[in-house]
């Protein structure tokens, strides 16, 4: 799915053999963006978002002007206000340019409610780092990554190009990650949502999880 040979060896932040690793700090990155709310172009960097103590969601997708992609971005747009209220910066990312993002946003009716920044990884450097770059097609696979305010990668999901994602599940995963940021000794079971019971791993819990969750 990813390839090392396409890295720029003189890039200031990335080394050819480096990849994002779950539970580890993410290397800084900078990308150009089209900002639908501002109606113009800009830049975004992980360093700046860390300075703002933001949670970050990177939502990679194959290409503008395709078919499953606008349905995913519309689904994400429907949850954007909720994610933003949780101090989360949402960035959609593809290997298209910022100019193509602008044109697609203006043409595709499904994108009418998109207000999050649309990042342009047209060199594929960031896609490679996160392991979603498809060398044969030159586009990114469908990859979703959650980065906490300290810059640690705490969530990852990658699906094939013909399988769309679910923003409801993304919100649930972010909620769990936020809760566990403040309660690191606990663990969230399957389908956990805020307010439900969590688990506190210990020798007393071995073989007794079902009883604990009753």
Residue 126 half-sphere exposure toward CB, CA atoms < 13 A: 26
Query: DSSP class of residue 27?
Result: P
Structure tokens at 133: 């770059």
Cβ-based neighbours of 166, under 8 Å, separated by 6 or more: 75
Q: Which residues are catalytic?
A: 69
CA 106 to chain centre: 23
d(CA 127, CA 123): 9
d(CA 93, CA 115): 14
Half-sphere exposure of 120 (CA within 13 A, CB side): 16
Q: Please provide the DSSP assignment of 73-105 as one string.
A: HHHHHHTHHHHHHTTEEEEEEESS-HHHHHHHH
């Amino acid at each position: 799915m990813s390839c090392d040979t396409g890295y720029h060896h003189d890039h200031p932040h990335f080394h050819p053999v480096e990849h994002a690793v779950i539970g580890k700090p993410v290397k800084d990155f900078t990308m150009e963006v089209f900002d639908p709310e501002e109606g113009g172009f800009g830049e975004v960097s992980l360093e700046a978002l860390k300075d703002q103590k933001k949670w970050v969601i990177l939502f990679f997708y194959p290409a503008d002007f395709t078919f499953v992609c606008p349905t995913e971005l519309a689904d994400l747009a429907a949850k954007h206000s909720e994610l933003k209220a949780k101090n989360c910066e949402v960035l959609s990312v593809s290997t298209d340019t910022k100019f193509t993002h602008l044109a697609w946003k203006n043409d595709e009716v499904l994108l009418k409610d998109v207000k999050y920044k649309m990042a342009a990884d047209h060199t594929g450097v960031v896609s490679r780092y996160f392991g979603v770059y498809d060398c044969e097609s030159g586009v990114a696979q469908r990859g979703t990554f959650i980065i906490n305010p300290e810059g640690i990668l705490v969530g990852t999901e990658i699906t094939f190009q013909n399988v769309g994602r679910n923003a409801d599940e993304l919100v649930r995963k972010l909620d769990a990650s936020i809760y566990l940021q403040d309660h690191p000794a606990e663990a969230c079971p399957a389908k956990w949502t805020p307010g439900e019971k969590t688990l506190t791993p210990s020798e007393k819990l071995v073989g007794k999880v079902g009883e604990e969750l009753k």
